[in-house]
Amino acid sequence: MSAMPAGDARTAIVVRGLSKSFGSTQALDGVRLELAWGEIHALVGGNGSGKSTLIKILAGVLEADAGELTTDGSTWNLTRHTPAESARAGFRFVHQDLGIVPVLSVGDNLGLGGHFVRGPLGTIRSRRSRRRAAEVLRRFDLDVDPRVTAASLSTPQRALLAIARALQDVDESGRAILVLDEPTAALPAEEASELLRTLRRLAEAGHSVVLVTHRLDEVRRAADRVTCIRDGRHVGTLDAADLSEARLVELILGGKLERSVTAARPADASAAPVLELRHVAGGPLRDVSLTLRPGEIVGIAGLLGSGRTELMEMIYGARRIERGDLVVRGTAVRSPSTSAMTRRGIAFIPEDRIAAGIFPQESVATNMTAGQSERYFSRLWLRTGLLLRDVARDVATYAVRTSSVHLPIDALSGGNQQKVVLGRWLRTSPTVLLLDEPTQGIDVGSRETVLGLVSEASRAGTAVILVSSEFEELTRISHRVLVLCDGRIVDEHPHGMTSHDLLESVLEKQRATR
Amino acid sequence: MKAQLRITEFFERYGLVALLVAVIVFFSVNSATPQFDTVANARNILTDQSILGILAIATVIPLVAGQIDLSVGPNAGLTSVLCAGLMSKSGWPLFPAILAAIVIGLVIGTINAILVASVGINSIIATLGMSSVIGAAVLAYSGGVSITTGVSPGLLRLGPGKWLSVPTLFYFLLGIALVAWYLLQKTPTGKNLYAIGSNPRAALLVGIGVSRQTFGALVLAGGIAGGAGVLLVAAVGAGSPQLGSNYTLPAIAAAFLGATSIQPGRYNVWGTITAVFFLAISVNGLTLWGAAPWVSELFDGAALIVGVGLGVYAGALRRRRPGRRGTASPDEMAAAATTALHDAPPVLDAPPVLDGADHTDGSDRRPTNVTQNAGANRAGP
Ligand SMILES: Nc1ncnc2c1ncn2[C@@H]1O[C@H](COP(=O)(O)OP(=O)(O)OP(=O)(O)O)[C@@H](O)[C@H]1O
Ligand SMILES: [Mg+2]
């Protein structure tokens, strides 16, 4: 049943012959996609394979070069598809860049797109809208006041908000086609599982769900069928039940994957620490002490709201430390600024790529070297040629897929943008590298590349703090993993534990503190 | 296809330059405007527009970092009155008077910088308020009358002066333009300013001193305006209390229109200068042709709207037809200008921050007062 006949009563939509090019880049080439009612359909493929482009075309945000869409009874020409038509065809979307408006309140963000409760003159009835918003937030387990601005939400909370906005009224409307572009990329394990359960329930209610993800365990756990695209071409549509992880990887990459990266030799425990935190507190952090030595990779595991991101920001000087000491290479640092910390060789890769990582519309080259132009400034002149030569080299090193280093970064696929941001810091060989969810949105193949580069940097002496919701990654490359819970470090595990045990341990600690 | 791309790119880049040339040719061959292609007229235009050009450059520098300075015109107005007044009323010699004018310009720039970069007030509001305060100071100092006597003859000779038959003031414009271009394009500071304008939060996280650099840009704008004030005395031959605020709109119009050419999508020096002369020459030609005096204001207003509008259009095109160098359209930058402080209060980077604010989760970004709310609408200037 891997290829369903198009006339099947269960067929929700059929997309045929979908092509799209951007200048010389052929993003999609004759792609076909069939969705059934009541299924979760995983859409997989490497970074830049065309998944988001396909989704944007279905949403009417981008125009296709060729292609048509058949829903029950009607056929739409995808070269002239509009957002309004897309909504009429029953689509709902959570795009990769979420589309949350930071200056608006959480409630207003939920209301955008026609979900406000309106009075007779079309005016928004704020009290009722707010009550409705509060109800939606409760349903999606988002524990926030609808009146706070979306800017104050954490990245995972924003992802949940975008999901809640798209799905808030599916139960009241007819059958819908729900399309989620990497919704779990920014979510910790627990929340991701919760979302998958919600999607399953929606599929069982008869909706059709498309899920884009780079987490292959999710594909195998949640999906009924899988469509894989590679380099803009349809590779195959298969039943998820028949797929082993290795087979899935092969479909995506077109080859085998070497999982060769592991923790380097244990770091030298006698070397002088490069970074020390002594009873640091502030924001959600209550009391954190840790010592970081050169060449060491320290993983930090924790659940949503445990304070992992805040900890990184404090170390980097982007957030105030209220109590405790921060010691960098033996010198206590008081109220550091980010620029001072950069000069001390500390690098920070934030979790929220779009809001805090990239300079949209600036070129790949500018993004790769942002904040580093001093290196190319000699004899009173910015040596652009030199800079471009280095960037050309590093684009290859960090496996960034782009047709030119002059391309604005927002023309790159999400995963490739992330690689540029990673490359920006890795190329400076920092003393301390703070990584907050560095592999989110990165495909399986590139993940190995990135982990390899991090591990290589640590071998060269860079000390790394790695925050990740991917416990497999944490246990694999960290020398030790600290468990952060409720603003405190509650546990420490040496290298060698399995990701499953780590998850168990984190959950147990969490239960204990509640 | 490729050739076609190159042609459209060429027009995007040099469209305004081509228009400028077209306008010059048109009025030169137009028999109804015989006075247009005379040396005297060319000199007049160069002299008159040099001050505006310098003020437009002063506007561009903070704009690059996402902040708009509406007070450069009034600032120059104040310093011109002061420069003339110190010589005439207080009997100062020329050089101390020049120095005082520049220092006052810097002081005004510094106050703007403190309000915007340290306190975190939206730059439109802060500098608009500052303009009004400056206007009051000018009236208080001058009593509303021009200071025509007692100005150093050396300075007065500078105005109509020529070198190689080009007006001296034009060389000042060229010099300042070159320095600004160097600063913005060929130094790390310039790159950092563009980065701040593009995404202040990301700029902070790559270790750029967002607050410090924004501060510097606004101080520099003030200093340049102070210098322009001195040249204004030379050009007008007096310290005139009415002139300053007349420069506000044309300077901003030139900066925005300039962002559509040379480096389309970015505020840039040569684009701005092209825009200044395009506007001035068009108005000059039309006036000689018999147009009413209000064409000047019509042109400035239209230029501002067209400049921003073209940016919107080019931005949309660029999204649909990517694959080339692309940058923010001016409207996106205008939006960035107004929201910059929202996304990353540059206060963060001011040395010891002991304000108790929670910097990163954004709770301090909540619109808490009028000025921040004003920043929330995407309203450009
Ligand atoms: N606006 C654009 N201009 C130029 N090229 C683009 C643009 N948008 C996408 N592309 C190119 O199209 C290709 C497909 O991109 P797309 O975003 O669809 O990938 P993706 O499969 O979603 O990848 P990821 O998993 O990294 O999100 C990429 O090579 C990308 O560089
Ligand atoms: Mg994508």
**Complex ipTM tops 0.95:** no
Ligand nearest to the CA of B325: 1
Render the burial of A187-224: b for 16+ CB within 10 Å, e for the rest.
Answer: bbbebbeebbebbeebbeeebbbbbbbbbbebbbebbb
Q: What is the pTM of this model?
A: 0.83
Residue of B nearest to A154 (CA): B361
Residue A230 in contact with ligand 1 by CB distance below 6 A: no
Q: Relative to the CA of A48, which ligand 1 atom is closest?
A: 19
pLDDT of res. B314: 65
- B30-34: average pLDDT: 88
Strand-pair category, A75-77 with A66-71:
antiparallel
Chain A CB contacts of B209 below 8 Å: 337-339
Ligand nearest to the CA of B322: 1
Strand-pair category, A177-181 with A91-94:
parallel
pLDDT of res. B303: 85
Query: What are the beta bridge partners of residue A486?
Result: none
Domain check: are A213 and A302 in the same one? no
CB A211 within 8 A of CB A185: no
pLDDT band at B316 (very low <50, low <70, confident <90, very high): low
Task: Compute how many other C-beta atoms are within 10 angstroms of the C-beta atom of residue B165.
Answer: 8
CB B367 within 8 A of CB B345: no
The verdict on a CB contact (< 8 Å) between A411 and B323 is yes
Domain check: are A304 and A437 in the same one? yes
- Give residue-wise pLDDT tens across range A89-141: 889 998 887 888 888 889 888 888 666 666 677 677 777 778 888 888 888 77
Q: Tell how far the Cα of A51 is from the centroid of ligand 2, in angstroms.
A: 6
Task: Compute how many other C-beta atoms are within 10 angstroms of the C-beta atom of residue A477.
Answer: 22
Domain check: are A350 and A215 in the same one? no
Q: Tell how far the Cα of B344 is from the centroid of ligand 2, in angstroms.
A: 27
Return the amino acid letter for B297: E
Kindly tell me if the per-residue pLDDT of B369 is higher than 60: no
pLDDT of res. B326: 36
pLDDT of res. A104: 87
Of the given ranges (A149-163, A217-231, A269-283, A476-490), which has the lowest mean pLDDT?
A149-163
Residue B107 sits at φ, ψ, to 5 deg, of -65, -45
pLDDT of res. B3: 56
Of the given ranges (A120-129, B29-38, B118-127), which has the lowest mean pLDDT?
A120-129
Mutate to test the interface with B, among A65, A103, A322 (most CBs of B within 10 A): A103
Q: How many domains does chain A have?
A: 2
Residue A27 in contact with ligand 1 by CB distance below 6 A: yes
Domain check: are A442 and A355 in the same one? yes
Higher pLDDT, B177 or A335: B177
CA distance B110 to A395: 41
Query: What are the beta bridge partners of residue A13?
Result: A35, A71
Higher pLDDT, A289 or A262: A289
Task: Compute how many other C-beta atoms are within 10 angstroms of the C-beta atom of residue A397.
Answer: 13
Domain check: are A248 and A279 in the same one? no
pLDDT of res. A372: 92
pLDDT band at B183 (very low <50, low <70, confident <90, very high): very high
Return the amino acid letter for B165: S
Higher pLDDT, A153 or A268: A153
CA distance B361 to A308: 12
CB A193 within 8 A of CB A164: no
DSSP-assigned letter for residue B118: I
- Which residue range(s) make up the domain with A505? 275-362+430-513
- Interface A–B counts its CB contacts (< 8 A) at 168
Residue A19 in contact with ligand 1 by CB distance below 6 A: no
Query: Helix and strand tally (H, E) in chain B?
Result: 15, 2
Domain check: are A247 and A282 in the same one? no
The verdict on a CB contact (< 8 Å) between B325 and A363 is yes
CA distance B222 to B224: 5
Reduced to 3 states (helix: H, G, I; strand: E, B; else coil), residue A321 is coil
Domain check: are A248 and A285 in the same one? no
Q: Residue A445: give its domain's CATH number.
A: 3.40.50.300
Residue of A nearest to B190 (CA): A373
pLDDT of res. A163: 84
Query: What are the beta bridge partners of residue A20?
Result: A28
Counting Cα atoms < 13 Å in the Cβ hemisphere of A466 gives 33
- Give residue-wise pLDDT tens across range A330-385: 899 888 899 999 999 999 999 888 888 999 889 999 999 999 999 999 999 999 99
CA distance B46 to B52: 10
Exposed/middle/buried for A401, CB within 10 Å: 0-12, 13-18, 19+?
middle
Strand-pair category, A208-212 with A177-181:
parallel
Kindly tell me if the per-residue pLDDT of A3 is higher than 80: no
pLDDT of res. A112: 80
> If you search the block for the tokens 């999508």, which residue do you land on?
B265
Reduced to 3 states (helix: H, G, I; strand: E, B; else coil), residue A154 is coil
- Give residue-wise pLDDT tens across range A71-83: 877 899 999 988 8
CB B183 within 8 A of CB B192: no
pLDDT of res. A263: 60
Q: Relative to the CA of A23, which ligand 1 atom is closest?
A: 4
CA distance A358 to A422: 11
Determine which residue's CA is closest to atom 6 belonging to ligand 1: A411
Chain A CB contacts of B366 below 8 Å: 148-149, 151-152
Domain check: are A344 and A486 in the same one? yes
Kindly tell me if the per-residue pLDDT of B59 is higher than 50: yes
Any residues with CB less than 8 A from the CB of B368 and at least 6 apart, and which? none
Kindly tell me if the per-residue pLDDT of B331 is higher than 80: no
Residue of A nearest to B360 (CA): A319
Chain A: nearest CA to B72, how far in angstroms? Answer: 28
The verdict on a CB contact (< 8 Å) between B199 and A358 is yes
CB B60 within 8 A of CB B176: no
Kindly tell me if the per-residue pLDDT of B52 is higher than 90: yes
Domain check: are A441 and A479 in the same one? yes
Kindly tell me if the per-residue pLDDT of A313 is higher than 90: yes
Q: Tell how far the Cα of A399 is from the centroid of ligand 1, in angstroms.
A: 14
Reduced to 3 states (helix: H, G, I; strand: E, B; else coil), residue A295 is coil
Kindly tell me if the per-residue pLDDT of B271 is higher than 50: yes
CB B318 within 8 A of CB B60: no
Chain A CB contacts of B185 below 8 Å: 382
Domain check: are A216 and A292 in the same one? no
Percent of chain A past pLDDT 70, that is, above it, reads 94
Determine which residue's CA is closest to atom 8 belonging to ligand 1: A411
Nearest to A24 among B203, B318, B323 (CB): B323
Is residue A479 in some structural domain?
yes
Kindly tell me if the per-residue pLDDT of A17 is higher than 50: yes
Query: What are the beta bridge partners of residue A491?
Result: A483
pLDDT band at A430 (very low <50, low <70, confident <90, very high): very high
Crossing angle of helices B72-88 and B123-142, rounded to 10°: 20
Domain check: are A353 and A441 in the same one? yes
- Give residue-wise pLDDT tens across range B124-155: 999 999 999 999 999 999 998 999 888 888 89
| Sequence spans of domains, chain B | 2-320, 332-377
Of the given ranges (A207-216, A498-507, B230-239), which has the lowest mean pLDDT?
A498-507
Domain check: are A62 and A20 in the same one? yes
Between positions 331 and 370 of A, the ones with CB within 8 A of B are 334-335, 337-339, 341-343, 348, 350, 355-363, 366, 370
CB A57 within 8 A of CB A3: no
CATH fit for domain B2-320, picks 3.30.460, 1.10.540, 1.10.3470, 2.40.10: 1.10.3470
Task: Compute how many other C-beta atoms are within 10 angstroms of the C-beta atom of residue B22.
Answer: 11
Higher pLDDT, A325 or B325: A325
Tokens of A154: 């954490």
Tokens of A210: 């498309």
